[in-house]
Amino acid sequence: MSVLLSIKGLTKAYPGVVANDQVSFDIGEGEVHALLGENGAGKSTLVKMIYGLVKPDSGEMTLRGAPYAPPEPSAARADGIAMVFQHFSLFDALNVAENIALGMEDPPPMRDLARRIREVSETYGLPLDPARIVGDLSAGERQRVEIIRCLLQDPKLLIMDEPTSVLTPQEVQILFETLRKLSSEGTAILYISHKLEEIRALCDTATILRLGKNVGTCVPRETTAREMAEMMVGSALQSPERSGRALGEVALEIRGLSAASPSAFGTSLKDLSLSVRKGEILGIGGVAGNGQDELLAVLSGEIVTRGDAVALHGQPVGALGPAQRRALGLLTAPEERLGHAAAPDMSLTENAMLTGAAREGLVGNGFLRWGKAKDFAQRIIEAFDVRTPGPENAARSLSGGNLQKFVIGREVLQRPEVLVVNQPTWGVDAAAAAAIRQALLDLATGDTALVVISQDLDELMEIADNFAALNEGRLTPPRPTAGLTIDEIGLMMGGAHGMEVAHV
Partner 1 sequence: MIKLEKRPQPSDLWSVATPIVAVLATMIFGGILFAFLGENPFEAIRTIFWDPLFSEFAFYYRPQLLVKGAPLVLIAIGLSLGFRAGIWNIGAEGQYIMGAIFGAAVGLAFYPLDSMIVFPLMILGGALGGWIWAMIPAILKVKFGTNEILVSLMLVYVAEQFLAAASLSFLKNPEGFGFPGSRNLQQYPAAHNAEIFAGSGMHWGVAFAFIAVIFAYVLLNRHMLGFQIRLTGEAPRAARFSGVKPARLILFCLGTSGALAGLAGLFEVAGPAGQITIDFNVGYGFTAIIVAFLGRLHPVGILLAGGLMALTYIGGEIAQSNLGLPAAAIQVFQGMLLFFLLAFDLLTNYRIRFAKREVA
Please give the residue ranges that form the binding site for partner 1 (CB under 8 A): 53, 55, 71-72, 300-302, 321-324, 326, 332, 334, 336, 339-346, 350, 353-355, 357, 363, 366-368, 370, 393-394, 396-397
Q: Please name which of 93, 198, 83, 91 lies closest in space to residue 146, comparing C-alpha atoms.
A: 83
Residue 314 sits at φ, ψ, to 5 deg, of 80, -5
Tell me how far apart the alpha carbons of residues 308 and 173 are, in angstroms, rounded to a whole number: 42
Residue among 225 and 327 whose Cβ is closer to partner 1 = 327
> Minimal CA–CA distance to 453: which of 233, 290, 234?
290
- 338 to 379, 435, 504: CA distances (angstroms): 21, 21, 44
Closest separation in Å from C-beta 338 to partner 1: 8
Structure letter (DSSP) for residue 397: G
Write down the least CB distance from residue 50 to partner 1, Å: 15
CB of 81 to partner 1, least distance (A): 16
- Nearest distance, CB of residue 293 and partner 1, angstroms: 11
Cβ closer to partner 1: 40 or 490?
40
58-63 and 3-14 as β-strands: parallel, antiparallel, unpaired? antiparallel
SS3 190: strand
Nearer to partner 1, 314 or 364 (CB): 364
Least separation in angstroms between CB 286 and partner 1 = 22
CB of 167 or CB of 320, closer to partner 1: 320
Give the shortest CB-353-to-partner 1 separation in angstroms: 6
336 or 500: CB nearest partner 1: 336
Q: What is the DSSP string of 107-167?
A: PPPHHHHHHHHHHHHHHTT----TTSBGGGS-HHHHHHHHHHHHHTT--SEEEEESGGGGS
User: Of 1 and 368, which has the nearer Cβ to partner 1?
Assistant: 368
Nearest distance, CB of residue 404 and partner 1, angstroms = 15
The helix or strand, by DSSP H or E, that contains position 84, with its residue range, turns out to be strand 81-84
Q: ∠140-146-150 over CA atoms, to 5°? A: 140
What is the Cα–Cα distance from 176 to 218, expressed in whole angstroms?
20
* CB nearer to partner 1: pick between 392 and 487: 392
Torsion of CA 374, 375, 381, 382, to 10 degrees: 160
Got the DSSP string for 236-249?
A: ---PPP-------S
User: At its nearest, how many Å lie between partner 1 and the CB of residue 15?
Assistant: 8
Backbone angles phi, psi at 271, to 5 degrees: 45, 60
Nearer to partner 1, 350 or 465 (CB): 350
Tell me how far, at minimum, the Cβ of 367 lies from partner 1, in Å. 5
How many CA atoms does the CB half-sphere of 153 hold within 13 Å? Answer: 25
Residue (72 or 154) nearer to partner 1, CB: 72
